[in-house]
């Protein structure tokens, strides 16, 4: 958090020399100005959060149902009607899509998403990275700013960091289509996404999901041969060529809408806490200021009394 903003933890105790009234007044003025900024940012984030929350809450049931249907269909296709998007290959080349925000001042939100991506690098794709075949695609500047300074052995792609400026399906589907084409052409053997899953304004969960190949549905016994009860018209192969890419693009947009709502929720919570800390600091500063004024007045009275006594004795 930039210098001048109250920290998100407990407000620090104020240690200012009681005699320096000017310094205390300047600190009070500075904290008041900062508090005005944090309150304004909280109000802006609350306004944006309402729209972002409505978007993800309306889309999530639809996207989750489509995702469930997609996994069920692709887990039970006939051999002749298979699609490339559920094709499991030996993972020699992998891609991690990191979805963070473009701006900070949202607590530990971006840090937690980055940590989730780091776990994928260190655990799931350690061998791929060692062979120099790991690619990271960034949506949002904060993730790219972190990795470009520390991971020079990984191919970093920052062509989509500004995608949050327009999260319409047409715009997002272009990026998803490029990633899907790269998987289809065997540029990547696996694609995972690290993003922030939104629950409410106070709770956001850093999450990683396998985007490609589409994970198969697991039954309770671990049997993957359960048949999906779907009837295809006009034909299964023609429908899948249109349906599967459309569902995958919808799923990808859900990742971004989740992160967008999580960002504003985290920022609103962080700014609310910063405003509370600023208020606590103001209380301590005002007490310190009043003590300093009282000491100055007492000192002046003592000087006057001492001078008068010296005149009487003289």
> What is the tens place of the pLDDT at every residue in 77-135?
654 456 788 888 999 999 999 999 999 899 999 999 999 999 999 999 999 999 999 99
* Residue 16: its H or E element: none
Q: What is residue 314's predicted lDDT score, i.e. its pLDDT?
A: 63
Question: What confidence score (pLDDT) does residue 2 get?
Answer: 43
CATH of 45-219+228-268, one of 3.40.1380.10, 3.30.420.40, 3.40.1280.10, 3.60.130.10: 3.40.1380.10
Position 43 scores a pLDDT of 94
The pLDDT of residue 3: 42
Q: Which pLDDT score, from 0 to 100, does residue 1 have?
A: 43
User: Token match 């400026």: residue?
Assistant: 165
Taking 70 as the pLDDT cut, the residues of the chain under it are 1-19, 76-82, 217-229, 314
Contacts of residue 45, Cβ cutoff 8 Å, sequence gap at least 6: 264, 265, 267, 268, 271
- Cα(10)–Cα(130) distance, rounded to whole angstroms? 42
User: Environment class of residue 277 by beta-carbon count within 10 Å: exposed (0-12), middle (13-18) or buried (19+)?
Assistant: buried
Measure the CA–CA gap between 73 and 78, rounded to whole angstroms: 10
- Which pLDDT value is given to residue 219? 52
The structure's pTM equals: 0.82
140 Cβ contact partners less than 8 Å away, ≥ 6 residues apart:
98, 99, 100, 101, 102, 110, 161, 163, 164, 259
Query: Which residue among the candidates 70, 106, 180, 261 is catalytic per the annotation?
Result: 106
Q: Is 106 a catalytic residue?
A: yes
- Which residues, in sequence order, are CB contacts of 177 under 8 Å at separation 6+? 245, 249
């Amino acid at each position: 958090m930039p210098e001048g903003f109250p920290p998100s933890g407990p407000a620090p105790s104020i240690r200012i020399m009681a005699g320096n009234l000017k310094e205390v007044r300047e600190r009070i003025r500075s904290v008041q100005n900062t508090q005005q900024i944090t309150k304004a940012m909280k109000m802006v984030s609350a306004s944006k959060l309402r729209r972002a929350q409505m978007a993800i809450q309306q889309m999530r049931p639809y996207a989750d149902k489509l995702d469930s249907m997609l996994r069920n269909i692709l887990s039970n296709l006939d051999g002749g009607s298979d699609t490339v998007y559920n094709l499991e290959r030996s993972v020699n080349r992998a891609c991690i899509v990191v979805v963070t925000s473009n701006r900070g001042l949202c607590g530990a939100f971006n840090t937690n998403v980055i940590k989730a991506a780091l776990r994928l690098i260190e655990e799931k794709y350690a061998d791929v990275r060692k062979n120099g075949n790991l690619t990271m695609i960034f949506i949002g500047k904060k993730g790219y700013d972190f990795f470009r300074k520390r991971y020079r052995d990984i191919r970093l792609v920052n062509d989509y960091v500004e995608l949050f400026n327009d999260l319409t399906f047409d715009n997002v589907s272009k990026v998803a289509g490029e990633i899907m084409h790269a998987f289809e052409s065997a540029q990547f053997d696996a694609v995972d996404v690290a993003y922030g899953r939104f629950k409410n304004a106070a709770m956001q969960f850093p999450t990683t999901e396998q985007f490609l190949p589409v994970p198969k549905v697991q039954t309770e016994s671990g049997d993957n041969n359960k048949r999906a009860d779907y009837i295809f018209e006009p034909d299964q192969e023609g429908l899948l060529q249109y349906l599967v890419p459309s569902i995958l693009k919808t799923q990808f947009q859900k990742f971004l809408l989740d992160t967008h709502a999580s960002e504003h929720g985290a920022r609103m919570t962080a700014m609310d806490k910063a405003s509370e800390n600023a208020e606590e600091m103001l209380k301590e500063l005002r007490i310190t200021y009043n003590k300093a004024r009282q000491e100055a007045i007492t000192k002046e009275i003592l000087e006057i009394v001492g001078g008068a006594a010296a005149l009487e004795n003289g």
